[in-house]
Amino acid sequence: MTIGIPKVVYQNLGIVEYQWVDIYTRLSRERVLFLTQEFKKYQTNQLIGLMLYLSSEDENFGMFIYMNSSGGSIICRLSLVDTVQYIHSRIGTVNVGIVGSIAAFVLSSGKKGKRIALSHARFIIHQPESGSQGQATEIFIEVNEVIRIRGIVKRLYSKFTGKTLNFITLSMNRDEFLNAKQACEYGIIDLIGKYARYLTTTKKN
């Protein structure tokens, strides 16, 4: 039997009546957002739209993105990272399970001091990949674009983690599996588990 998405009671400001809304809608009103699947354009645009709306509503309140994702489109993730850097609201990121590939990159882009992992969270780091198909000329063009994007990701990773570009390049040459403590040493996150509890609030910055 499928349980479906739980619903909870919610009361909009200025409205007397209560209403039932799904739990994710309720949490989004508290600026608690989720990234829990392999992201493609539609899902990415939804999350970006929600972030932009909440920031325009009150840019002095922060947000938290709870993540449990194996990766996804590099272009979608770059657009999400750009949005995190663009809006005025401070964005905290939390790994609640596993962040793989480019999802770990998105998590590292959060506000320093508010990048968190639960105690048994895991991380996977590797190069953005290309699924090149088609004629040789098209493959050559796509490979060049992937190389260019890899350079962007490496430079931003270096900025977010504080590691040298050479360190990041060597680290991303093969799959690297990290636990929460190793991710903290790497510079992807700042705090682990219970030590970050007091930070996971969306009160004013």
Q: Same structural domain for residues 88 and 17? A: no
Q: Same structural domain for residues 80 and 142? A: yes
**138: in domain:** yes
**168: in domain:** yes
- The 3-state DSSP class for residue 33 equals strand
**183: in domain:** yes
| Total tally of structural domains belonging to the chain | 2
Q: Same structural domain for residues 17 and 35? A: no
Q: Report the largest interatomic distance among the alpha carbons of the chain, rounded to a whole angstrom.
A: 64
**74: in domain:** yes
Q: Same structural domain for residues 25 and 43? A: no
Residues labelled catalytic = 101, 126
Q: Is the dihedral of CA 156, 192, 62, 74 positive or negative?
A: positive
**119: in domain:** yes
Q: What is the pLDDT of residue 56?
A: 92
- DSSP conformational letter for 107: H
* Phi, psi of 130, rounded to the nearest 5 degrees: -115, 140
Q: Same structural domain for residues 14 and 74? A: no
**154: in domain:** yes
The CA-atom distances, in angstroms, between 167 and each of 45, 100, 156 are 32, 19, 13
What is the band of 26 on the pLDDT scale with cuts at 50, 70, 90?
confident
Give me the mean pLDDT over the 137-147 stretch: 69
Q: Same structural domain for residues 96 and 180? A: yes
DSSP assignment of 173-193: TS-EEEEHHHHHHHTS-SEEG
The CA-atom distances, in angstroms, between 34 and each of 73, 88, 95 are 17, 19, 10
The H or E element that residue 100 is part of is strand 91-100
Q: Same structural domain for residues 18 and 118? A: no
- Of 93 and 72, more confident: 93
Res. 203: pLDDT tops 70: no
What is the band of 198 on the pLDDT scale with cuts at 50, 70, 90?
low
**204: in domain:** no
Q: 60, 71, 61, 70: which is closest to 33 by C-alpha?
A: 61
pTM for this structure? 0.82
CATH number at residue 89: 3.90.226.10
**205: in domain:** no
**What is the extent of the structural domain holding 95?**
31-199
Q: Mean pLDDT check: name the lowest of 23-32, 72-81, 88-97, 136-145.
A: 136-145
Q: Same structural domain for residues 190 and 132? A: yes
Q: Mean pLDDT check: name the lowest of 65-69, 147-151, 192-196.
A: 192-196
